[in-house]
Amino acid sequence: MTGLSDLRDVAIKGLDAAETLEAIEAVRVEFWGRKGKLALASKEFGKLSPEERARNGKLLNEYKQEFETLFEARKAGFESAALDARLESEWIDLTAPASGIRPGSLHPVTQVQKELEDLFVSLGFTVLDGPEVETEYYNFDALNIPAHHPARDMQDTFWLNAGSWPKESRLLRTHTSPVQVRGLEKLGPPLKMIAPGRVFRNEEVDASHEHTFYQLEGMMVDRDVSVAHLIYFMKTLLSAIFHRDVTVRLRPGYFPFVEPGFELDIQCLICGGTGCPVCKHSGWVELLPCGLVNPAVLRASGVDPEQWNGFAFGLGLTRLVMMRYAIDDIRLLMSGDLRFLNQF
């Protein structure tokens, strides 16, 4: 039956020629839809002999499969082209700026302070706090600096008044050391503590001096704490702070709340000890005062110095921050200037 074969050729040509999804669908409906020309062709098979019928039926099946395969392939082609076109139309410029707020910055002193707090806590130290407005007793007397002691000259003091207070009975703490006494009073020995915080000195402000700055006090009180332990701790801590092995040395330094008292120097990290402008060609940089806690301070804290002793140190947090970020003007830290602070 040539009719079937002709129809098949027209249908295939129609599929080939179609240029849209709708066009191939129209071809499918025309030939293979419920009333399609090839679909209806089988209805005329009744007039044929059984052999003819079988042969035509088989042929029609082959045509149908051939058409469907081709149809699906073309359909997939159109769909994929349509998807491509849609995706292509969705091109965006990813170099355009992203909207939304960016994180701000923690103050550099906060960052270094937090790092040190974490470090000390990992070594079993507790973090304590003390008031910025202190009494003369905690700031000086309890630390073995009685009234009219020349050591009070080392720390120019802001004295305070308020209506209800005895005249100049309070002051702005000149160091974080009062927390040694407050900490021992509160927690008792054995104690490993640090106390970071804001301190005040009545000094003229310039690029390297501030009347408001930050310190980190540290103290360990236990049985038989020795100079050897102090050196061990300082070396361990400073190596962690500077992220490398540091060489330290102790030399005599006078602070009434420690006995013996030391200035701790580290070998210059810039030149390695051979001498450079940073270490003033000495090979060493003065870093922190420390010493064994004076028995008078332990007694003032209610601790028996025959039973307990310890070491203490005072780290200049502000100074450490300036070293770490190479900040050449201390005033920037308290300036509130976002051009500076946004850099951290």
Partner 1 sequence: MKFSYDWIRELVDGLDTTPADLARLITLKTAECEGVESHGSDSVIEVDNKSLTHRPDLWGHHGMAREVAAITGKKLLDPVKPRSFDGPRAVHVDIENYELSPRYSALVFENVTVRPSPVWLAERLEAVGLNAINNIVDVTNFVMAEIAQPMHAFDANKLHGETIFVRSAGAGEELAALNGESYVLDSSNLVIADAQGAIALAGVIGGAGSAISDSTTRIVLESANFNATSVRKTSSKLRLRTDASMRFEKAQDPVNTVRGLQRALELLEQVSPGIRLVGGLADAYRPLPAQPPVLLQIDWLDRKLGRAIAPAQIRAILEAIEFKVEEIDERTFSVFVPSWRATKDVSIKDDLVEEVGRMIGYDSITPVAPLAPARVPPASPRRGFHHHIREMAVAQGFTEVYNYSFLSDDQARVFGFDPAGCVQVANPIAAGHNLLRPSLLPLIWKNIGDNARHFDQFRFFEIGREIHPDGETPHFAAAIFAKDDGVASLFELKRLTECLTPGASVRPSPRARPYEHPYRAADVLLGAAAVGRLFEFHPSMVEAGRAAVLDLNLALLEEVQTPAPRYQALRRFPASAFDLSVVVPARELIGEVQARLASHAGANLLSILFLRDFALPGGQRSLSYRLTVGAWDRTLSSEEVSAIRGAVIESMRAAGYDLKV
Q: Which residues in the 205-264 window bind partner 1 by CB under 8 A?
A: 205, 211-212, 220, 222, 224-229, 231-233, 235, 249-254, 256, 259-263
User: Collapsing DSSP states into helix, strand and coil, what is residue 339?
Assistant: helix
With beta carbons less than 8 A apart as the criterion, state whether 185 and 131 touch. Answer: no
Question: In whole angstroms, what is the distance from residue 7 CA to residue 211 CA?
Answer: 101
Select the residue interacting with partner 1 from 20, 77, 165, 329 (CB under 8 A). 165
Q: Which is nearer to partner 1, 56 or 177 (CB)?
A: 177
Radius of gyration of the chain (CA): 43
CB of residue 90 to partner 1, shortest distance in Å: 30
- The pairing of strands 133-135 and 248-252 is unpaired
Select the residue interacting with partner 1 from 71, 78, 125, 138 (CB under 8 A). 125
Q: Which is nearer to partner 1, 64 or 235 (CB)?
A: 235
Select the residue interacting with partner 1 from 162, 207, 270, 278 (CB under 8 A). 162
CB of residue 326 to partner 1, shortest distance in Å: 19
With beta carbons less than 8 A apart as the criterion, state whether 84 and 90 touch. Answer: no
Residues from 5 through 44 that contact partner 1 (CB under 8 A)? none
Residue 268 sits in the site that holds partner 1 (CB under 8 A): no
**Cβ neighbours around 79 below 10 Å, total:** 11
Residue 275 sits in the site that holds partner 1 (CB under 8 A): no
Question: In whole angstroms, what is the distance from residue 332 CA to residue 205 CA?
Answer: 11
Residues from 175 through 194 that contact partner 1 (CB under 8 A)? 187, 190, 192-193
User: Collapsing DSSP states into helix, strand and coil, what is residue 35?
Assistant: coil
CB of residue 212 to partner 1, shortest distance in Å: 6
CB of residue 86 to partner 1, shortest distance in Å: 32
Residue 172 sits in the site that holds partner 1 (CB under 8 A): yes
Site string for partner 1, 127-146 (x = CB under 8 A): xxx-xxx-------------
**Cβ neighbours around 75 below 10 Å, total:** 16
Q: Please name the helix (run of DSSP H) or strand (run of DSSP E) that holds residue 104, with its range, or none.
A: none
CB of residue 95 to partner 1, shortest distance in Å: 22
Provide the token pair at 28. Answer: 């499918």
With beta carbons less than 8 A apart as the criterion, state whether 14 and 31 touch. Answer: yes
Q: Which is nearer to partner 1, 7 or 238 (CB)?
A: 238
- Number of residues located near partner 1, criterion CB under 8 A: 88
CB of residue 341 to partner 1, shortest distance in Å: 5
Q: Which is nearer to partner 1, 59 or 127 (CB)?
A: 127
CB of residue 137 to partner 1, shortest distance in Å: 17
User: Collapsing DSSP states into helix, strand and coil, what is residue 253?
Assistant: coil
With beta carbons less than 8 A apart as the criterion, state whether 197 and 134 touch. Answer: no
With beta carbons less than 8 A apart as the criterion, state whether 217 and 175 touch. Answer: yes
Residues from 290 through 319 that contact partner 1 (CB under 8 A)? 292, 294-295, 309
What are the angstrom distances between the C-alpha of 289 and each of 61, 138, 217, 286?
99, 19, 10, 9
Residues from 70 through 89 that contact partner 1 (CB under 8 A)? none
